[in-house]
Amino acid sequence: MYVVCKEHVELAIDRFLDEFEDAPDVVNLADTKFAAWDPPPQCEEKGCTQHAEFLVV
């Protein structure tokens, strides 16, 4: 699972494909709320400080 900004979504998809050898689901965090989980406020890509916009799972 990767929580990333718009700039890093393609990189997260590539990583997911490499790791799981299956296509991920990409969820827009602005359109989805989770009952038991709050997504991190910023992109998890190293050195990135942009707002997290997508969940790649």
Q: Would you say 6 and 39 are in contact if contact means Cβ atoms under 8 Å apart? A: no
The tens-digit pLDDT sequence of the chain (57 residues) is 999 999 999 999 999 999 999 999 999 999 998 999 999 999 999 999 999 999 999
Instruction: Tell me the two tokens of residue 27.
Output: 């969820």
Who's near 20: CB < 8 A, 6+ residues apart?
A: none
Report how far residue 19's alpha carbon sits from residue 2's, in angstroms, rounded to the nearest whole number. 12
Domain boundaries, the chain: 2-56
Tell me if the pTM is above 0.95. no
Which pLDDT score is estimated for 7? 98
CA distances for 8 relative to 2, 35, 44, 57, angstroms: 10, 25, 9, 14
